[in-house]
Amino acid sequence: MTSAMLTDLLKSLGLLGGALMVGVFLRSKLGFLQKTFIPASVIGGFLLLLLGPQVFNVTGKLGVPTEWYSYYSMIPGILIVPVVAGVPLGLRLNRKGSEGMDSGFIKNVFPLFFIGLGVSMTQFAVGYLVHLLFQGSYNFYNQFGIELAIGFVGGHGTAGTLGNTLKELNLPYWETAQGVATTTATFGIVGGILIGIALINWAARSGRTALLNKPADIPAVFLRGYERDVTKQHSMGRETTQSSSVDALAFHTALIFLACGLAYLCIKGAKAANIPVLKSISVWAYGMVCMFVIWGIICRLKIDYLVDGAVKSHITGSFTEFAVTGAVASLPIKAVATYILPIVVMCFIGYIVTTLWLVWLSKKLLKGYWFEQMIGTLGMATGVFITGVMLLRICDPDLKSPALTTYSLSYTATSIAYFALLNLFITLPETSGVLMTVIVACGISLACLVAAIISGRLCFGKVENP
């Protein structure tokens, strides 16, 4: 890569950053964007898409090179590597509950983990079942259908994971699959929030919420996307290092990049040695494994005080914002439009299955604040972590319940297990066919169901919730 190419890349990122800023502005000013909770990255990316060569080509008339949109389509697959690799960094599952919490309440994490993982496996099964249902009418690529779980549980950022893996497998339709996943993620976050708010209204009026007698207003900061009062703005995290040596953000970023570099070395070695299975594992999966090793060494040396999970999350979150903006900006409209009917069908079925699974199992297996824990998990299962927090804040405005703690812990464990299994569902249709993929997804989903019931019974016995 030459200096001119790097300069061109930086210029293209300037346009991408500008689009993200416009997305932030539009989200803060337009009511319909606030009510649908569409992220600023999606808004900015969609604006770039409309102005780009696929629609009105305004950017082309202004002298923006078409190649920049090729960069945008590749950015999600590249940035998702540090995003996934960063997941284990700062992981602490032995976190104590909040003050005054019933020590038995934290046990909800075990059934809630299996409930959350099970719903993601069910989404894989539903997506590939829709593939089988429509395969006589459409010329599907092998992985069509995986986008339901990629978009719903994974979110917009994980669409880059799919594109990255398919590109590594030299499959020409990686951009189309990434675009479909971006589309299902948009359906997921909007539909999930609308369903969540409807469920909160139903639960509040029927006495199923522990702290809410009537639906609370959505906090204004969630709607506009920022807090005006400086005294109420949260800290990004601890400054674990002194800038006289190294900036704390640079230190955390260096650890993430180190894991990425080791991951690329691992996959290069596996391919050079022609090791079965290992040579086919995606680089982001190796990144997660390498980070587990790095984090284990840090903990063993008792220098884990140098790592702050909040700081790490903001770094990977920044990568995700640009990955999402790039993915939406480069969305292959014509290819995605070809599959719009099966996309809508699988999203609709996904809404129903996800909602029924979570409501039924949470009520049966969780003890105390079952609805609050369920609604947070619903946000995660159709959007991202913060979506669950937002829904939880509606039915527990002051976060008086300990539901946020169990939701956060189960989310962390579910994310790790989800990414550990994701590569299987990307490669299995290619090697064993779509039907076998459905069978495997149903099998793991059933195993999660059994594990959720067993763990719930062991922790609480028979639960009686209103």
What domain range includes position 411?
A: 3-222+247-460
For residues 263 and 81, give the distance between their C-alpha atoms in angstroms, rounded to a whole number.
9
pLDDT number for residue 216: 60
pLDDT number for residue 94: 54
Specify if 228 maps to a domain: no
Residues of the chain with pLDDT under 70: 1, 93-104, 212-218, 466
Give the 3-state DSSP-derived string for 442-461, with helices as H, strands as E and coil as C.
HHHHHHHHHHHHHHHHHHHC
Distances, alpha carbon 397 to alpha carbons 205, 222, 276, 381, 466, in Å: 16, 12, 52, 21, 21
Specify if 87 maps to a domain: yes
Q: Radius of gyration (Cα) for the chain, nearest Å?
A: 22
Specify if 282 maps to a domain: yes
What does pTM read for this prediction? 0.88
For residues 307 and 299, give the distance between their C-alpha atoms in angstroms, rounded to a whole number.
10
Specify if 236 maps to a domain: no
For residues 407 and 421, give the distance between their C-alpha atoms in angstroms, rounded to a whole number.
21
**Number of domains into which the chain is organized:** 1
pLDDT number for residue 307: 97
Specify if 240 maps to a domain: no
**Whose CA is closest to 462, among 391, 339, 366, 342?**
366
Specify if 233 maps to a domain: no
Specify if 92 maps to a domain: yes
pLDDT tens digit sequence for 86-128: 989 998 755 444 444 455 677 899 999 999 999 999 999 999 9
pLDDT number for residue 439: 98
DSSP secondary structure letters along 198-220:
HHHHHHHHTT--SS-SSPPPPPH
